[in-house]
Chains A and B, each alone.
Chain A
Amino acid sequence: MLEVKNVDAGYGKINILNDLSLKARENNLTLLIGPNGAGKSTLLKAIFGFVKTSKGSIEYNGKDISSLPSHQLVDHGISFLLQRVSVFPELTINENLKLGAWAFKKDKQKVTQQLEAMYDKFDVLKQKRNEKAGLMSGGQKRTLEIARMLMSNPKMLLIDEPSAGLSPKIAKEVYQILHGLKDDGITLLMVDQNIRDSIGYSDYVYVLEQGSVSSESKASEVEANLKEVVQSWLKF
């Protein structure tokens, strides 16, 4: 579905990704793990066009998307959940959600249908639909971000540290929501430092070190050797 081939990318003259290649298979949750500075978040930003690639290609359903402007990727069915809080705090929850349907904003009926679907799926948003998003708790904001992402009917989600800053209970709920999206035919490529919790929801794992893939395997295999994987990072 999504294939990164021999990509170099970075900030200014500093290269973060070095000849990196990987695949996110259709309807799988692919997990990217690795020590700090390995290039995990940079990879997601490069896929979404926030960081320019200097070499290689990024193919989505066989088409090279590396030169497309970021905002056009949404039309291709790709959405991105940033690591930091990205709700629009001064807009209401309803306005935040509606913006998720920007790609088909002229189809009023479809926008309304999607809104209702999200309110049915996430009751907490329905109750607070006219409140400003900035007033929500951390977990609720994450829920809003996920719902807003789903408004555009994406087929591929790029997810950066979904549990960052959340309590273990809320983080678990977020993982369950994300894992459940596979049932809707969505493919996920997720970066997470919280390996112990996220590995159980994943299908395939890439370990990144110094901007390249150092190993890859089925999630069940990494889960069985989790201690060794984490210890190997401590050498860095």
Chain B
Amino acid sequence: MDFLVPLLAQLTNGLIIGFIYALMALGLTLIFGVLKVINFAHGEFYMLGAYISYIASRMLGLHPIIGIIAAVAVVFIIGMLMEKALLTPIYEDKVERKDEYALLITFGLSIFLMNGALVVFGPYQKSPEPLASGVLDLGVLSVSSGRIYAVVLAIIFMAATLFIINKTWLGTALRALSQDRDASTIMGINAKTLGSIAFGLGAAMAGAAGALLAPVFLVFPIMGVVPAIKSFVIIILGSMGSIKGAIYGSLLLGIVESLGVFFLSPSYRDGYSFLLLIIILLVKPKGLFGGSQWNN
């Protein structure tokens, strides 16, 4: 019985982190689903979101929630502009090896943004204003109020994204674009603009995740590397391009990490995700939701 309370606490933490991973992985899967581009700069959009919330809450003195909303909005715009500036040549048939081009250009963008943050903010860790202070008493369990707020906001962001995807004209068009670009154009859909919106939305979700986790894990230029790698792990284990896979995969990863920390050692926290990936791919090579589409 003695170990149940700390185990429950770890599992709760795992689920909280899992929901925020889900936000980030959903953004990555949205970009991959619509544009067929693996965005290597996804972690840096996470980092940008964290810095923007830091600037808003610490430097401008705004409420942390305003900081998070600002992070989402600014990263959305930056994401759209980056897509327009860097990925447009793919759709204009200006490059021969489109997949390789997209990989290299987003990889370059990642390095550029990381070093840009280093120049502007320096290498030091910074901490934005937390969403809330104190703990929430849940009987046997106490959880940091800031984390509860973060997970609630993550769920709201995800619900809003899923609503857009499933219930609006924009979402239907994005799903259509993910299946057939030429057929979408025949409908009168501006595939280039919609592609930029999809990239902006995906980047904004990473930015939101960064802003939500910034008070927990602090803000520094290379903070996006590990979350980005975990997002790749999630979308591979959940099946590339599957929304359901991204969400369930994130929660599973969060829980496995917390169980690993509890039963084994916290030192190898990041290693558990890769162990999980290896096991799942050995059993289900196409991932948990193998073969399913971005539209599920």
Contacts and interface: CB of A to CB of B under 8 A. Distances in A.
Contacts of A86: 180, 182-183, 186
A102 B183 contact: no
A156 interface: no
A148 B179 CA distance: 16
B190 A99 contact: no
**Which range contains the number of B residues in contact with the other chain?**
20 to 34
A102 B183 CA distance: 12
A90 B191 CA distance: 18
B187 A90 contact: no
A86 B181 CA distance: 10
A71 B172 contact: no
B173 A90 contact: no
A88 B176 contact: yes
A105 B189 CA distance: 11
A86 B187 CA distance: 11
A102 B173 contact: yes
A105 B169 contact: yes
B293 interface: yes
Most interface-central of A69, A80, A98, A99 (chain B CB within 10 A): A99
A102 B179 contact: no
Interface string B164-195: 00000100110110011011111111110000
B173 A88 contact: no
Interface string A132-152: 000000000000000011001
30 contacts: A50-B182, A50-B185, A69-B190, A70-B185, A74-B186, A74-B187, A75-B188, A82-B182, A82-B183, A82-B186, A86-B183, A87-B183, A88-B175, A90-B293, A91-B175, A91-B176, A95-B172, A99-B172, A99-B173, A99-B176, A99-B189, A102-B169, A102-B173, A102-B187, A102-B189, A103-B188, A105-B169, A148-B187, A149-B186, A152-B187
Given A71-B185, A102-B187, 11 more contacts: A75-B188, A82-B183, A82-B186, A87-B183, A88-B176, A88-B180, A91-B176, A95-B175, A99-B189, A102-B189, A149-B186
